[in-house]
Homo-oligomer: A and B are copies of this chain.
């Protein structure tokens, strides 16, 4: 298959690009390198050392003998170039990771709120209009988030894969209707993924575009089989308060003996997936698109569900790290239940990488190995959901 990977230089996009290339697909990355540039502004860097994209691609060619194309393009603002590229490359599938993906960053300031909405909505909508206008017959696979469903709305009822059957009282009796699961986003970032869903629903209805929306859990882990083949191929690892996701943050904190930073009680329950499973899910998704005329196909891309405090305890038990309860910078329920349906990917043959297999390897091979690259003043989360909310001071400013 010819595959375009939008945002193919990012944390999910890069290992996906390598995996698809390794599996014989003809991959071209479209990326404006925004993730690296945001690090410049935030004065942070991936814990793992990331080489420039050109060097990454040369290394991949050396190691695999396969070539991955790259175009530096801003999808939100360079529509005409996007349309030309579609006509030139005529992809069978477009994988769309090209969105600002950190909830804390999206809540940092009016500027980052606006950047997140402007970038994400326009990148998605430009892609949809370009596919319609060029007539290129490509299916779209988009990375959504479990956060579109929100947490707590369903109580102990399992969250379905995208659509919910409801009953409505009418003068003619009770009607049954299948609806897109009501949107309950917890941040501006998550909100943009709920906007994406409405864009997808419209363009699949009006233009018969074939769209898969993957509602992914929190990704953990760093390496895939491909990124581990050469240090120049290593995936990024974010540990800072804005881009570091909870489990990877704990792993890095454990490696440097920093207390594990639990926000609030830790009663928040979330769904997780290892990066190795993300890349496999993407291939399964591009190989199994919906039929033209169908509504968007929604698949929940998660493998395990855990309470944040349980994860902290698990890592604390294994590594001896302390646990610190910090003020929660988010507006969210202190505790929630979470049950998630993920039947579709299991039926397609996904074999999940479990937390118990991967945790220690991740601490040793990534977090410990690169711990000297950490800036300890970037660990505590400082972006708050409303002005004036409390945050913590740094817990540690130098390595022990």
The interface of chain A, by Cβ under 8 A from chain B, is 79, 83, 109-110, 113-114, 117-118, 121-122, 125-126, 129-130, 132-133, 135, 153-158, 164-172, 174-175, 177, 179-180, 182-183, 185, 188, 191, 194-195, 198-199, 201-202, 205-207, 331, 385-387
Contact = CB atoms under 8 A, between A and B. Distances in A.
Integer count of this chain's copies in the complex: 2
A114 B79 contact: yes
B179 A155 contact: no
Contacts of A179: 166, 179, 182
B157 A172 contact: yes
A332 B315 CA distance: 55
Contacts of A153: 177
A126 B185 CA distance: 19
A214 to B, nearest CB: 19
Given A110-B133, A182-B180, A172 B155 contact: yes
A281 to B, nearest CB: 26
A122 B183 CA distance: 20
Contacts of A170: 154-157
Contacts of A158: 171
Contacts of A155: 170, 172, 175
Given A79-B114, A117-B199, A166-B179, 6 more contacts: A110-B132, A110-B133, A118-B121, A158-B171, A185-B202, A205-B331
Nearest to A188: B202
B185 A156 contact: no
A130 B113 CA distance: 11
Contact of A195 (B122, B132, B198): B198
16 contacts: A79-B114, A109-B133, A114-B125, A117-B125, A154-B168, A155-B175, A164-B168, A165-B168, A166-B168, A188-B202, A191-B198, A191-B199, A195-B195, A195-B199, A206-B386, A207-B386
A202 B187 CA distance: 8
Nearest to A153: B177
Nearest to A191: B202
A118 B129 CA distance: 12
| Centre residue among A83, A195, A385, A387 by max chain B CB count within 10 A | A195
Contacts of A194: 198
A95 B157 CA distance: 40
Nearest to A181: B179
A109 to B, nearest CB: 8
